[in-house]
């Protein structure tokens, strides 16, 4: 392959990110690394799925990212290097991978044989071009009993049209061990309100269209900086495929055969753009992405899939998820949000000998939330309230986990608001406390009204904190004594250089679940 144009727009965006980040590593990685006329690394680099002995490295060759990538049909050899210093004087692992047109010339390298609990730097080379450097970290060893704090961010819902990614600029400068993304990484649909930039093209249904939508998002310099700074763990929600889809149908595509063809294209594009291993590569419209991720004896993170297996919506005509509703069908015991197989897996994991902390990372607000104003009850059928028996089974499993000495937290996304909630077994308002939930807002996506949030807080005392007028993400710090959670809020999501600060702080005492608000 001949040389791979670095656009002036990309260099300007990259320069903005570098100038605003402050962190020395981020200034280094934000500099363009290639000297060729065609840059194949326009979508940056990333790492993910950290283990004690390695991780997954990712990039995608795309000199023309919004025109299908511009790589043609030929396979391309990509060299990769991992070093234990940022100057790459001590390379500890290296090799080659083949980027093929079948997977949009993406590369997923599964590196092994490294030391636990330490930082590494990595980069790629292809066709005479070298990528920016990324930084990543292995997990502590499974036998690591140290009480060293573990710190990670969790985020979701980053509608490209509704804001810039100042939250990721702030995240990239934090001292984190890893990042968890809980879904809605892309949006398939557009919104007519609060647009600050626009999608290219209409609603994707074909593989090429989903690829271009991911490329649009991943070309953002601030998102690239957050990917290059830490390893990520990722799951999906609905907008990676279609709004409010359940298993094999969506409100927009009721025919299962037609929808599963869309889902297959969407799942493949997700895989092509995420730092995940080959074991998560879709087989048609199916992909196994849920699993346990262990960080020494401090944390078991149980990452779930809340879309692929869930029961269809009930209580409403057709297959819509709104408006608010209530009916006996939503209480049916056979209804599941995770599906029977994933539910059984999660119950087994919660029954295993626990680490100091267990975090269930899942897409949407778990706590019961009566949303209808006035004395009547009304629930959102796309949330856990549409799957009440499945939620009861999960809370029962969390109660048993607590009885064995486990300390459980739930990290959630999807609802475009910050929430902190007490999770109780049985009666949502007066039952025994079994876990604590935090919903980390939205990176950019528009939230519900202040009146809606005030109504939910008034009707649902288990919701201890709620705010939806700010965009941002959450930080969680775990140690031997307790958990600390910080909600980070963007002052103005419409500007890339917006200030970002702490909006609220909470703590959870080890062995005593429940929300405790801290002074900010």
pLDDT at residue 108 is higher than 80: yes
CA gap 464, 485 in Å, rounded: 14
What pLDDT shows up at residue 265?
98
Q: Where are the domains of the chain?
A: 8-137, 151-207+236-258+283-518
Where on the phi/psi map is residue 72: left (φ > 0), alpha (ψ -120 to 50), or beta?
A: left
Q: What is the pTM of this model?
A: 0.94
Residue 318: pLDDT band (50, 70, 90) is low
- 5 or 85: whose pLDDT is higher? 85
pLDDT at residue 7 is higher than 60: no
Do 60 and 246 meet the contact criterion of CB atoms below 8 Å apart? no
- 216 or 317: whose pLDDT is higher? 216
CA gap 116, 350 in Å, rounded: 25
Please count the other Cβ atoms lying within 10 Å of the Cβ belonging to residue 435: 28
pLDDT at residue 145 is higher than 60: yes
Please count the other Cβ atoms lying within 10 Å of the Cβ belonging to residue 416: 21
What pLDDT shows up at residue 320?
75
Q: Which of 273, 210, 194 is nearest to 442 (CA)?
A: 194
Instruction: Please report which helix (H) or strand (E) contains residue 162, including its range.
Output: none
Fold match, 8-137 / 151-207+236-258+283-518: no
151-207+236-258+283-518: CATH class? alpha beta
Does the domain made of 8-137 have the CATH classification 2.60.40.380? yes
- The predicted model gives 482-507 an average pLDDT of 98
- The predicted model gives 205-216 an average pLDDT of 98
Mean pLDDT of the chain: 93
In 444-481, the DSSP E strands lie at 463-467, 471-478
What pLDDT shows up at residue 11?
31
Residue 36: pLDDT band (50, 70, 90) is low
């Amino acid at each position: 392959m001949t040389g791979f144009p670095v656009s002036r727009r990309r260099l300007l965006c990259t320069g903005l990110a570098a100038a605003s980040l402050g962190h020395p590593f981020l200034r280094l990685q934000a500099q363009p690394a290639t000297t060729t006329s065609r840059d194949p690394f326009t979508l940056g680099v990333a790492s993910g799925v950290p283990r004690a002995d390695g991780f997954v490295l990712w990039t995608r060759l795309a000199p023309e990212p919004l025109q299908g990538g511009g790589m043609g049909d030929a396979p391309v050899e990509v060299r990769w290097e991992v070093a234990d210093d940022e100057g790459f004087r001590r390379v500890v692992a290296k090799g080659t991978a083949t980027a093929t047109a079948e997977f949009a010339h993406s590369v997923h390298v599964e590196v092994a044989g490294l030391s636990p609990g330490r930082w590494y730097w990595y980069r790629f080379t292809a066709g005479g071009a070298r990528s920016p450097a990324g930084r990543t970290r292995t997990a502590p060893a499974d036998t690591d009993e140290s009480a060293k704090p573990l710190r990670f961010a969790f985020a979701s819902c980053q509608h490209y049209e509704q804001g810039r990614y100042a939250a990721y600029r702030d995240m990239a400068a934090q001292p984190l061990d890893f990042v968890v993304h809980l879904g809605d990484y892309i949006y398939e649909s557009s919104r007519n309100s609060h647009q600050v930039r626009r999608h290219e093209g209409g609603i994707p249904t074909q593989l090429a269209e989903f690829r271009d939508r991911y490329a649009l998002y991943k070309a953002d310099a601030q998102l690239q900086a957050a990917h290059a700074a830490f390893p990520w763990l990722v799951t999906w929600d609905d907008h990676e495929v279609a709004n409010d889809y359940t298993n094999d149908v969506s409100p927009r595509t009721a025919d299962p055969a037609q929808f599963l063809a869309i889902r297959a294209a969407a799942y493949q594009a997700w895989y092509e753009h995420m730092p995940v291993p080959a074991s998560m590569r879709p087989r048609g419209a199916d992909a196994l992405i849920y699993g346990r991720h262990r960080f020494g004896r401090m944390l078991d993170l149980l990452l779930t899939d809340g879309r692929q297996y869930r029961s269809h919506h009930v209580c409403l005509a057709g297959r819509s998820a709104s408006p608010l509703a209530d009916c006996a069908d939503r209480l049916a015991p056979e209804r599941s949000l995770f599906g029977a197989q994933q539910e059984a897996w999660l119950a087994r994991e919660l029954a295993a000998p626990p680490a100091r902390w267990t975090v269930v990372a899942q897409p949407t607000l778990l706590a019961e939330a009566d949303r209808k104003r006035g004395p009547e009850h009304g629930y959102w059928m796309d949330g856990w309230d549409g799957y009440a028996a499945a939620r009861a089974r999960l809370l029962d499993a969390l109660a048993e986990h607590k009885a064995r000495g486990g300390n459980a937290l739930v990290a959630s996304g999807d609802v475009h608001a910050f929430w902190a909630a007490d999770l109780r077994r049985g009666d949502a308002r007066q039952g025994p406390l079994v876990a604590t939930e935090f919903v980390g807002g939205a990176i950019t996506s528009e939230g519900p009204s202040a009146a809606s949030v005030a109504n939910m807080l008034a009707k649902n005392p288990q919701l201890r904190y709620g705010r939806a007028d700010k965009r941002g993400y959450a930080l969680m710090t775990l140690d031997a004594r307790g958990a600390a959670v910080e909600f980070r809020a963007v002052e103005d999501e419409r500007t890339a250089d917006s200030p970002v600060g702490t909006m609220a702080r909470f703590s959870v005492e080890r062995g005593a679940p429940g929300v405790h608000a801290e002074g900010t």
